[in-house]
A = this chain, B = another copy of it.
């Protein structure tokens, strides 16, 4: 029983996670073979595990198409950190959208990536935005740099070690340039990204601190570069991030 080829899964649970994470947001139903391929597991193993996951409603099957099931959706709604943050942030985000007209994002850090927790579409015409639950590179987005600027040196090293992949011609890829950027973000309280993540899109983000001083998230507004008033947007974002921070319950347990 040697480990699978992908993500050196060893336990049953690791195999299961390999299966669940083989699902992508744009595929409508995977077959067993495709799933086994993506997860790097033998077909027979996948077939058996999938049967259990379907029984537990973590997967749904429609003929030979498998999809993520209702239970996963339900559980996802129970995750506290995203839920509490969203609840506190939605009014602030709505007002921020109203003030700026741009797309508003809230994201938290997960290792060397940012995970999008809430999105509010502005009246900018197109520019599809990071999905809720989607991941963004930490080095190439204002959201990421807003939190990275206030994180430990080790965190920055980790991000650098993960590779500063270029997503557009303007993406920062030099480690020392990134560090200089982060220092600037610390001074100004605002991180700005001009077409580093997607061509034609600019973004301003600010870190969100809980009353305890803990860094918990980042808030951003993005829009088309040609209509982007960086100064005004930055001021609005910084203000909103500050107000959001004050709304957070000291990040201690509210039920105690």
How many positions in chain A have a CB within 8 Å of any CB in the partner chain? 51
Contact A70 B115 (CB under 8 A): yes
A253 within 8 A of partner (CB): yes
Min CB distance, A182 to chain B, in Å? Answer: 23
Query: Which residue of chain B is the closest to A23 with respect to CB atoms?
Result: B78
Q: How far is the CA of A133 from the CA of B58 in the complex (A)?
A: 14
Q: How far is the CA of A28 from the CA of B78 in the complex (A)?
A: 10
Min CB distance, A90 to chain B, in Å? Answer: 10
Those of A71-102 within 8 Å (CB) of chain B: 71-82
Question: Which residues of A line the B interface, CB within 8 A?
Answer: 11-14, 16-17, 20-21, 23-29, 49, 52-53, 56-58, 60, 65, 67-82, 108, 110, 115, 117, 131-135, 253-255
Name the contact of A81 in the complex, choosing from B20, B67, B79 (C-beta under 8 A). B67
Given known pairs A49-B13, A57-B110, the reply for A73 and B79 (CB within 8 Å) is yes
Q: Chain B residues near A29 (CB, 8 Å)? A: 253
Name the contact of A76 in the complex, choosing from B11, B49, B75, B255 (C-beta under 8 A). B75
Q: Chain B residues near A56 (CB, 8 Å)? A: 13-14, 17
Q: Chain B residues near A72 (CB, 8 Å)? A: 72, 75-76, 78-79
Q: How far is the CA of A58 from the CA of B49 in the complex (A)?
A: 18
Q: Which of A12, A76, A82, A110 has the largest count of B CB atoms less than 10 A from its CB?
A: A76
Contact A77 B12 (CB under 8 A): no
Min CB distance, A50 to chain B, in Å? Answer: 10
Contact A79 B57 (CB under 8 A): no
Q: Chain B residues near A58 (CB, 8 Å)? A: 17
Min CB distance, A4 to chain B, in Å? Answer: 14
